[in-house]
Amino acid sequence: MTETPIYVLRHGQTEWNVEGRLQGHRDSPLTPHGREQARRMGVALAARLASGGVDVAVSPLGRALQTAEIVIGQLNGLAVTWRTDPRLREIGVGQWEGLTFSEVVARGVQFPPDRDDDWFLDAPGAETLEGVVDRIGAFLAQKLDRPLVVVCHGQTGMLLRGLYMGLSPHEALGLDQPQDAFYQLTQDTEERISCIAAAGNTKDNGDEVT
């Protein structure tokens, strides 16, 4: 992999994160805490970036765009070029989008005990894992001329990081997906950069398709 760093950020906490609802291709706005998480990520990212330029690629879903706007606002003095990229959108979970896990189970759905990381792939109308891997792999194949900041989602971000490091898709879905930290990818490895403030609510919501 390239020596040019890629920074992978998950969007800040949303209203549906708080409610435990599957978002997928649907959307909900950031909470005040989510906006603060985005601001902290921007501050920490600015401290990591050298003077010069940076490219930003953003999922077209509203929660990622809202996060990116706040993050970019903290990158003072840097030449920022940003774009949306549909390959970064979250995994679509079809008819289960907008539901909580309990509401899915109430429909009579049963999951094997070893499906903690990918149970949402069983949703009627969901994207296939192979399709998601293909679009993220195509995104990673691009040539980088300067550092790249990616603002995306929980599962999308895990798969992107895992593919970068040579993990299988199912191994990648076992990675964490924080909203109070982001990752620097370089030379086939990742480094976690924490953005937790000294005080205040730092709870993230790491178990939904977000």
Give the residue numbers marked as catalytic. 11, 90
Give me Rg for the CA atoms of the chain.
Answer: 16
Nearest to 63 by CA among 153, 135, 185: 153
Handedness of CA 42, 48, 50, 56 (dihedral sign): negative
Q: Which two tokens stand for residue 137?
A: 């792999």
The helix/strand/coil state of 53 is: strand
Quote the strand ranges of the chain, DSSP E. Answer: 6-10, 53-58, 79-84, 148-152, 181-186, 189-194
Q: Parallel, antiparallel, or unpaired for β 53-58 and 181-186? A: unpaired
**Cβ partners under 8 Å of residue 10, min gap 6:** 152, 153, 154, 157, 177, 178, 179, 182, 210
Quote the strand ranges of 14-69, DSSP E. Answer: 53-58
Beta bridge partners of 100: 21
Beta bridge partners of 8: 150, 183
